[in-house]
């Protein structure tokens, strides 16, 4: 992830600059974390924020998807690993339960609004399936494609 656009979790407020920066490049210092029971095919979601560094903004669409770290190629790649179990949505939901039920979830989120140095809130959902073996999966990552310009 760029130093000019980042993701934040914890307490995030629309149009504010709060939250804790999510870890980047596999450091696992503050990862987005879900604990799911695969036998129950659970899903869970969290609200996070995306914002640019002070003095910058996006130009055009911002696209958010999940990428998988390929240990053989040492690269993050789309459409591999468990990326199909990650979903994104926008919306003003008062709880994760409400977002799980009512959000329009997609594996690819396109934000057409300009993202500034104030929080734009999004929802991230992870799903599990009965076919999974219990694991601590640290190979999935949130990928952001955006053009950043000075504000």
Give me 67's structure tokens. Answer: 């990428």
Count of beta carbons in the 10 Å neighbourhood of residue 62:
23
| Count: domains in the chain | 1
Question: What is the rounded average pLDDT of the residues 72-82?
Answer: 93
Q: What percent of the chain has pLDDT over 70?
A: 98
Which residues are CB-neighbours of 6 under 8 A, at least 6 positions away?
21, 22, 24, 50, 51, 53
d(CA 111, CA 42): 27
DSSP secondary structure, 70-94, as one string: ETTTTEEEETSTTGGGEEEE----S
| Residue bearing tokens 């939250």 | 19
pLDDT, tens only, 103-136: 999 999 999 999 999 999 999 999 999 988 878 8
Range of the domain at 111: 5-150
How many angstroms separate the Cα of 95 from the Cα of each of 35, 44, 51, 92?
17, 11, 21, 9
Tokens linked to 132: 């999974």
- Alpha-carbon distance of 143 to 78, in angstroms, equals 9
Query: pLDDT digits over 50-67, tens only?
Result: 999 999 999 999 999 999
Q: Name the strand (E) or helix (H) holding 60.
A: strand 56-70
What is the C-alpha separation between 122 and 111, in angstroms, rounded?
A: 10
Rounded to a whole number, what is the distance in angstroms from the first to the last CA of the chain? 19
Return the minimum-mean-pLDDT range out of 23-27, 70-74, 76-80, 139-143: 23-27
């Amino acid at each position: 992830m760029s130093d000019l656009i980042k993701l934040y979790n914890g307490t995030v407020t629309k149009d504010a600059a709060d939250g804790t920066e999510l870890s980047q490049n596999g450091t696992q210092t503050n990862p987005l974390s879900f604990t799911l029971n695969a036998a129950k095919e659970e899903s869970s979601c969290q609200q996070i924020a995306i914002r640019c560094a002070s003095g910058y903004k996006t130009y055009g669409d911002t696209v958010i998807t999940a990428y998988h770290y390929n240990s053989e190629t040492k690269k993050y790649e789309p459409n591999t690993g468990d990326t199909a179990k990650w979903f994104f949505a926008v919306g003003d939901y008062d709880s994760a339960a409400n977002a799980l039920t009512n959000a329009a979830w997609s594996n690819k989120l396109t934000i057409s609004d300009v993202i500034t140095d104030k929080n734009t809130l999004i929802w991230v959902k992870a799903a599990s399936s009965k076919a999974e073996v219990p694991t601590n999966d640290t190979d999935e990552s949130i990928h952001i494609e955006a053009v950043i310009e000075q504000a």
